[in-house]
């Protein structure tokens, strides 16, 4: 199974940005732990502060291309990932484009937020991602990514 984790704007600053909200661990260090915990899963990671790059990466994961075939065979869902874990950061609250990209692909997307966005500023209470996501995990810190992977694994096993 292949899972793509996509992090949006400012999440490249984890471990340095507002550690009281986001924790003191870098995502790169946490990613090492995730990969060690799930050796049977190919975990790919992508981070961008640019909305269009996130949309492009969702398209690639969902549709792939003829040049991106696994051993000459297209992936079962047509794309390059079996599941996507997405923390769109601030784009969660503003991006119709990311919403539309998720709706356009068959690959299931789990929306993750490190903090409980409903305990924060009012503008963070609305998500454009949630209506398009297969599931939502909010407020469990970095462990939310692990929970999302667990959910995708269970979903793929029927």
Q: Report the C-alpha gap between 9 and 35 in whole angstroms.
A: 23
The verdict on whether 113 is a catalytic residue reads yes
Q: How many angstroms from the chain centroid is the CA of residue 21?
A: 19
The verdict on whether 22 is a catalytic residue reads yes
Element (H, E) at 104: helix 96-104
Contacts (Cβ under 8 Å, ≥6 apart) of 89: 7, 8, 9, 10, 11
Contacts (Cβ under 8 Å, ≥6 apart) of 133: 86, 102, 109, 110, 111
DSSP category for residue 39 = T
Rounded to 5 degrees, what are φ and ψ at 12? -70, -10
- Pick the catalytic residue from 91, 113, 128, 145: 113
Positions marked catalytic: 22, 113
């Amino acid at each position: 199974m292949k899972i793509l984790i996509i992090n949006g704007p400012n999440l490249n600053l984890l471990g340095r940005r507002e550690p009281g909200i986001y924790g003191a661990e870098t995502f790169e260090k946490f990613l090492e732990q995730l990969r060690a915990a799930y050796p049977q899963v190919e975990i790919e990671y992508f981070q961008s502060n640019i909305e269009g790059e996130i949309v492009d990466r969702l398209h690639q994961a969902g549709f792939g291309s003829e040049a991106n075939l696994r051993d000459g065979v297209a992936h079962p869902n047509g794309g390059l990932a079996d599941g996507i874990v997405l923390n769109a950061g601030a784009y969660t609250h503003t991006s119709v484009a990311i919403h539309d990209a998720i709706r356009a692909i068959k690959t299931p997307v789990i929306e993750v937020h490190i903090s409980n966005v409903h305990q924060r500023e009012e503008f963070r209470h609305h998500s454009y991602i949630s209506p398009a996501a297969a599931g939502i995990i909010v407020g469990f810190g970095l462990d939310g990514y692990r929970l999302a992977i667990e959910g995708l694994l269970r979903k793929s096993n029927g």
